[in-house]
Chain A
Amino acid sequence: MDLLRSKNYRKKQPNGRIKKASADMPDKYAIPIEDIQHRRLSQTRVRERSKSKTKAFRIGIGLDMPFLILVLVLLVCGIIMMFSASYPVAYYSESNSYYYLIRQLIFATVGIGVMFFMSYLNYEYLKKLSLIILPLGILAMIVVLILPSATGTGVKRWIGVGSFNIQPSEIMKFAIIIFLAHWGAYQHKRVQTFKYGALPPLVIFGVTAVLLYLEPHYSGIVIIGILTALMVLLYGGKLRWFLIIGGVLVGVVLVLAVTDKLGYAMERMDGWGKALEYVDDSMWQDTWQTRNSLYAIGSGGLLGLGLGQSRQKYLYLPEPQNDFVFAIVCEELGLVGAIIILILFGLLVWRGFVIAMRAKDRFGTLLAAGLTAQVGIQVVLNIFVITDWLPNTGISLPFFSYGGSSLIMILMQMGIVLSVSRSANMNKA
């Protein structure tokens, strides 16, 4: 019966969608809503669905192919560009030009495995998992504070596991997204109220912010703050809460700034937007990375110097494989190349939201939207940093920046989005 219905659906759906796209808004969602209602009904047949899950494993279909292709294309582009950006540094510091490439390829392979694995799992379990991951994330952030600094600079952001570094804030981002998605879906009738809608995320954010402040990792606070706000907005939070909370936050930051407690951030803020101005030696030194990033982007011009032809990567731009990889992309591929990559990211965001909107339940919608938004936000913030519009505070570019934990994490999250798409399609099937 399902199959039969599905056939009808498939015939109808594309046509209907194309037609409806030009029509007015409410009508546009007519079919998906119907679909969701149908799925709501099917939710009661849990056992049957678990059967279909094994079937899905076997068949291996139902994934949103555009989204999957976009992820893979971005991953391939990212690895190529990361390799191009990193090989002089790798050669210089590791005596092996392929050092970062090989490691990133390993991470990517693991990540793709994790992604597919996640895509085949029913994301339902994340509801329960979120209740474990959230405390675990907080625990990890406490642990990182107790452990000695991994980089020796006094900054405690990473937990070293062998040669592998885990960033607890990465876990925390994920944990907050899934928890708030779950919370928003579970309490969707009460989240309109301040007590249910605003207080829990505020408490979680507050705790996280304090812990991140101690690391210190201010850009983490910013990203998590934005993500939290986004999730709250998605599940129906009121705009006025943000005005109030925003006001309080500004107050807190001001107090901290006045009492000079933002040492590290203030230092970074100092040179913010002034990378090209010479004020004094120490600031000139501090803004070295940002300045060379600007040089790289500017050098690219419209069409770039050509793939592999970056000059700034020859040790002028420190760690070009990490946060600043996009500067090398701009230098080598020019504005055109950069815009193409931005379009790829844009398409990914668009497709991710499409998946979210097509999800079979509220949790799926919130989950896919939150995880997709995280990618988009990180892209935007990362480019703001490399173009000196935000202080240089360590925001990586998804798929492009080197780093095992963040790459595997992002691919795992993409796997969850795919899982949401698969569940929707499975149900239709």
Chain B
Amino acid sequence: MSSSSKSKLMRRCMVIMLCILVLGFGTVAFRLSQLTIVEGETLQQAAVEQQLNDTTISARRGTIYDTNGKVLAQSATVWKVVLSPNSFESDADRTIVSKGLSEILGLDQESVYEKTKENSYYSVVKRQIESDTRDEILEFMDTIEEEHGISGVIDLLEDYKRYYPYNDFASAVIGFTGSEDQGLSGLEYEYDDELTGTPGRLVTAKGPYGVEMPFNYEQKVDAVDGNSLVLTIDETIQHIMEKYLEQGILENKVANRAVAIMMDVDTGAILGMAVEGGYDLNDPYTIADDQTRAQIDLLVGTEKQNAEYEAQSSQWRNKAVSDTYYPGSVFKVITAAMALEENTVNDESTFTCTGSYKPVENAGVIRCHNTSGHGTQTFAQAVCNSCNPAFMQIGAGIGKQNFWKYFQAFGFNTTTGIDLPGEASGLFFNSDGEMTDLDLAVASFGQGVSVTPIQMVAAISAVANGGELLQPYVVKQVLDADGNVVKSTDKMVKRQVVSEETCEKLSEILELNAKEGSAKNSYVAGYRVAGKTGTSEKLYDANDDGIDDYIASFCGFAPADDPEVCLLVYFDTPLGNNYYGSAVAAPVFSQIMSEVMPYLEVSTQYTDEEIAQMDTTANSYLALGVDEAKSKVESDGYTCIVKGDGDTVEAQIPAASTRIPQGGTVVLYTSLDEVSNTSVEVPDFSGYTLAEANSVAAAYNLNISVSGISGASEGVVLNQSVAAGETVAEGTVITLTFTTSANYGNNAVM
């Protein structure tokens, strides 16, 4: 081998070596530097992201309390089923897991299978499963691990579910949540942000197949539980309202639900807001109304579906704030306030009613409910008579411009701003306040202008509290998870609408109205009630029977001299014997008030007549000798009846410390056996006048206690506390509720 060829070989070796070292290793070193130094941070971040297992910790949704801290809505622990799709090793495993899970959870297998194919470590399969389902899944997880060696793909995480302890209680106000724990209606929707809280995160190091990483990394960001709400709603008041409203619906065959709103006239706090029929908050999608549900069940296909949606949305609808109605005669309070404020009427003003009135030359005649006419009335009489012709005259006196001004001032053309979703605004003839003379005439007695129930309550409350229009609210406090007050709502005065004098004057008239006028069915003994009935024609005919449908309402406040609460009761389309506000809504108002007023510890102010009728408390005559007891009973002013042959009194009815009407009957028993021997069947008192009821009660040796209209002198029994036919011991006190004659006929009050 020549030296030159050898050196050439050496040179080639050298070149190739340098090529490998410089070009090859050089580029490699460059590439590695680029990745570690330049792109290092981004890559590291991406790596960390996949290495850390990020689990969402559900935040507990806040609780909703009533004003006294009773729980109205609460979240309880349940579980959510979560898959870790990237942890699956094969499609066969996916099939096994999706099949098992779909069977346990009642889901479509295909959709679960799709979830197992996602590119993530966290895919929620189902939320809010209860503990029994969780146990099934735990068992399934054990089974697949044993039989197929599948593990680390299913996870059960704590979750929360909403519970409403009172079911359909205050359903329109509280609302409900969806499957993702999000508020869908009512306060749950309105205050969703407050209630929701902030979900936490648990970040742990995790390998792709769910194996634990040996390097310790765990960072927990605790979930911040949602804030709680304290409502102004009082559970007791709300229950009272719902009870009587429901009763009223049944008695008057109300077709289109009913509303009752009670507002604290001094603050604007809503103490109760009942919308019947509501729905079960724990089961919001089921149609609560049996009749509607039965009708829907008869349908098929899309028709059924649509009917179902419609029924659902209507039962969820908060009629108290979302629906408008013609306020009818209740609006006369507003018209009266305008007239008084503008001094277009005074004590000397008189209004003549001939049974009908022609407000505009070319228009038709508008009749009064009293077709024979109210004759000549003072302003107060016109209110008490709820006389339409008189009010058309009063309205004409106010004038269109002023009418529109006060309509706005009372807040009818805007929403009240109550913290509930879906609030509607009232409707005037034209949104710019334009109206014809005829419009003014009908508007002055509450037809043609639409308002929402909540607007009406706020406006009447303004009359009650001396002229301040308040913003109504239902949430008084927002509490954080530790119970600290985060926010609290205070009284919010929108404006002074009318003067205090106007209000005082009007209150007097309205009290008189409740005592003697068209609103006497609203009377509550001992509490000075003021109020106005309303019966308004609806624009459409709900049951298609060709007869106009009506809304029967009553709005009033008590006590009249220093009002505390304002209550509106409103029945949409009563289809019973009566549709007048005085007959349908006023008694319910009275019933609610007579229970709410004592609850609110409003001091009673009885008239002499009332004191005469007032119940007393029975003394104890037990263990006394029969004769001694008898003389004592008589000296206490009661009639005494002795049952049995014994010497001493073993039992007495009414029991000691219970109510007994003045001049009532006390039955003394000399042995306990006698009590059951001397029971009587309760007679049916309905339709009796007070005098008749008294004599019947005496015949049965029963006591009666009177509630309802003032004096009960001209009323008849509407219902009784113990149903007819029931067997009670002699001496038992039965409360009778009186109402003015059901057959009010031509004298009916609008």
Binding site for B on A (CB under 8 A): 25-26, 29, 32-33, 36-37, 40, 88, 92, 188, 230, 233-236, 276, 281, 284, 292, 294-302, 309, 311-312, 314-316, 330, 334-335, 338-339, 342, 345-346, 349-350, 353, 356-357, 362, 365-366, 369, 373, 376-377, 379-380, 383-384, 387, 389
CB of B707, distance to nearest CB on chain A (Å): 75
* A342 vs B31: C-alpha distance when bound (angstroms): 12
A387–B207 contact, CB under 8 A?
Answer: no
Q: Which residues of A contact B21 (CB under 8 A)?
A: 346, 349-350, 376
Q: Which residues of A contact B24 (CB under 8 A)?
A: 376-377, 379-380
* CB proximity to A under 8 Å, residues B115-132: 119
Residue B611, interface by CB 8 Å: no
Binary interface encoding of chain B residues 618-661 relative to chain A, with 1 for a CB under 8 A from any of its CBs, else 0: 00000000000000000000000000000000000000000000
| A-B contacts, CB under 8 A, total | 166
A234–B3 contact, CB under 8 A?
Answer: no
CB of A211, distance to nearest CB on chain B (Å): 27
B50–A335 contact, CB under 8 A?
Answer: no
- Closest residue of chain B to A381 (Cβ to Cβ) is B24
Q: Which residues of B contact A234 (CB under 8 A)?
A: 9, 12-13, 16
Binding site for A on B (CB under 8 A): 1, 3, 5-14, 16-17, 20-21, 24-25, 27-29, 31-33, 35-37, 39-44, 46-48, 50-51, 119, 205, 207-209, 211, 213-215
- What are 25 A-B contacts defined by CB distance under 8 Å? A25-B11, A88-B207, A276-B46, A298-B36, A298-B41, A298-B42, A298-B47, A315-B207, A316-B50, A330-B36, A339-B29, A342-B29, A345-B25, A346-B25, A349-B17, A349-B20, A349-B21, A349-B25, A350-B17, A369-B13, A373-B20, A376-B20, A380-B24, A380-B28, A384-B27
A312–B1 contact, CB under 8 A?
Answer: no
Q: Which residues of B contact A284 (CB under 8 A)?
A: 119
B13–A356 contact, CB under 8 A?
Answer: yes
B32–A383 contact, CB under 8 A?
Answer: yes
B-side interface mostly = helix
**Among candidates A299, A338, A350, A376, residue contacting B43 with C-beta atoms closer than 8 Å:** A299
Given A29-B7, A188-B5, are A316 and B51 also a contact pair (CB < 8 Å)?
yes
Given A373-B16, A376-B21, are A33 and B9 also a contact pair (CB < 8 Å)?
no
A330–B208 contact, CB under 8 A?
Answer: no
B9–A387 contact, CB under 8 A?
Answer: no
Q: Which residues of A contact B25 (CB under 8 A)?
A: 342, 345-346, 349, 376, 379-380
* A353 vs B39: C-alpha distance when bound (angstroms): 35
CB of B673, distance to nearest CB on chain A (Å): 85
**Which 5 pairs between the two chains have the least Cβ-Cβ distance?**
A298-B43, A295-B47, A380-B24, A376-B20, A353-B17
Given A377-B20, A377-B24, are A362 and B1 also a contact pair (CB < 8 Å)?
yes
CB of A7, distance to nearest CB on chain B (Å): 25
CB of B712, distance to nearest CB on chain A (Å): 82
* A295 vs B42: C-alpha distance when bound (angstroms): 9
Q: Which residues of B contact A362 (CB under 8 A)?
A: 1, 6, 9
- Closest residue of chain B to A278 (Cβ to Cβ) is B119
Other A-B pairs, 11, CB within 8 Å; known A295-B43, A315-B211: A33-B7, A281-B119, A297-B35, A309-B215, A314-B211, A339-B32, A342-B28, A346-B21, A362-B9, A369-B17, A380-B28
- Closest residue of chain A to B49 (Cβ to Cβ) is A295
B9–A365 contact, CB under 8 A?
Answer: yes
A389–B31 contact, CB under 8 A?
Answer: yes
B16–A297 contact, CB under 8 A?
Answer: no
A295–B50 contact, CB under 8 A?
Answer: yes
* A40 vs B3: C-alpha distance when bound (angstroms): 12
* A387 vs B39: C-alpha distance when bound (angstroms): 12
- Closest residue of chain A to B118 (Cβ to Cβ) is A281
* A299 vs B214: C-alpha distance when bound (angstroms): 17
A-side interface mostly = helix
* A125 vs B24: C-alpha distance when bound (angstroms): 32
CB of B52, distance to nearest CB on chain A (Å): 10
* A394 vs B41: C-alpha distance when bound (angstroms): 28
Q: Which residues of A contact B209 (CB under 8 A)?
A: 92, 315
B44–A298 contact, CB under 8 A?
Answer: yes
* A365 vs B11: C-alpha distance when bound (angstroms): 12
Q: Which residues of B contact A389 (CB under 8 A)?
A: 31
Name the residue in B1, B211, B213 with the highest tally of chain A Cβ atoms < 10 Å from its Cβ.
B1
B35–A387 contact, CB under 8 A?
Answer: yes
CB of B29, distance to nearest CB on chain A (Å): 6
A298–B40 contact, CB under 8 A?
Answer: yes
Q: Which residues of B contact A37 (CB under 8 A)?
A: 3
Q: Which residues of B contact A384 (CB under 8 A)?
A: 27-28, 31
B207–A314 contact, CB under 8 A?
Answer: yes
**Among candidates A294, A316, A365, residue contacting B35 with C-beta atoms closer than 8 Å:** A294
CB of A82, distance to nearest CB on chain B (Å): 18
Q: Which residues of A contact B41 (CB under 8 A)?
A: 298
A236–B8 contact, CB under 8 A?
Answer: yes
Given A299-B44, A369-B16, are A380 and B27 also a contact pair (CB < 8 Å)?
yes
B215–A40 contact, CB under 8 A?
Answer: no
**Among candidates A230, A309, A379, residue contacting B28 with C-beta atoms closer than 8 Å:** A379
B28–A296 contact, CB under 8 A?
Answer: no
Given A92-B209, A316-B207, A346-B25, are A233 and B32 also a contact pair (CB < 8 Å)?
no
A298–B16 contact, CB under 8 A?
Answer: no
**Among candidates B11, B17, B28, residue contacting A383 with C-beta atoms closer than 8 Å:** B28
B28–A311 contact, CB under 8 A?
Answer: no
A338–B47 contact, CB under 8 A?
Answer: no
Q: Which residues of A contact B32 (CB under 8 A)?
A: 297, 330, 335, 338-339, 342, 383, 387
* A296 vs B1: C-alpha distance when bound (angstroms): 51
**Among candidates A236, A311, A346, A379, residue contacting B47 with C-beta atoms closer than 8 Å:** A311
CB of A300, distance to nearest CB on chain B (Å): 6
B44–A301 contact, CB under 8 A?
Answer: yes
* A356 vs B207: C-alpha distance when bound (angstroms): 47
Name the residue in B1, B3, B27, B28 with the highest tally of chain A Cβ atoms < 10 Å from its Cβ.
B28
Q: Which residues of B contact A339 (CB under 8 A)?
A: 29, 32
**Among candidates B1, B5, B7, residue contacting A40 with C-beta atoms closer than 8 Å:** B1
- Closest residue of chain B to A87 (Cβ to Cβ) is B214
* A383 vs B32: C-alpha distance when bound (angstroms): 8
CB of A283, distance to nearest CB on chain B (Å): 12
Name the residue in B5, B13, B209 with the highest tally of chain A Cβ atoms < 10 Å from its Cβ.
B13
A294–B51 contact, CB under 8 A?
Answer: no
CB of B213, distance to nearest CB on chain A (Å): 5
Q: Which residues of A contact B47 (CB under 8 A)?
A: 292, 295-296, 298-299, 311-312, 316
Given A295-B47, A315-B211, A342-B25, are A301 and B16 also a contact pair (CB < 8 Å)?
no
- Closest residue of chain B to A189 (Cβ to Cβ) is B5
CB of B591, distance to nearest CB on chain A (Å): 67
**Among candidates B7, B17, B46, B215, residue contacting A311 with C-beta atoms closer than 8 Å:** B215
* A356 vs B17: C-alpha distance when bound (angstroms): 11
A233–B12 contact, CB under 8 A?
Answer: yes
CB of B588, distance to nearest CB on chain A (Å): 64
Name the residue in B3, B9, B21, B211 with the highest tally of chain A Cβ atoms < 10 Å from its Cβ.
B9
* A383 vs B20: C-alpha distance when bound (angstroms): 13
Given A92-B209, A295-B50, A383-B32, are A301 and B40 also a contact pair (CB < 8 Å)?
yes
A33–B3 contact, CB under 8 A?
Answer: yes
Given A335-B36, A389-B31, are A233 and B16 also a contact pair (CB < 8 Å)?
yes
B36–A334 contact, CB under 8 A?
Answer: yes
CB of B54, distance to nearest CB on chain A (Å): 15
* A296 vs B28: C-alpha distance when bound (angstroms): 16
A335–B28 contact, CB under 8 A?
Answer: no
* A387 vs B43: C-alpha distance when bound (angstroms): 12
CB of A403, distance to nearest CB on chain B (Å): 21
A335–B37 contact, CB under 8 A?
Answer: yes
* A300 vs B37: C-alpha distance when bound (angstroms): 9
* A230 vs B24: C-alpha distance when bound (angstroms): 14
Q: Which residues of A contact B14 (CB under 8 A)?
A: 353, 357
Q: Which residues of B contact A298 (CB under 8 A)?
A: 35-36, 39-44, 46-47
Q: Which residues of A contact B44 (CB under 8 A)?
A: 295, 298-299, 301
Q: Which residues of A contact B40 (CB under 8 A)?
A: 298-302
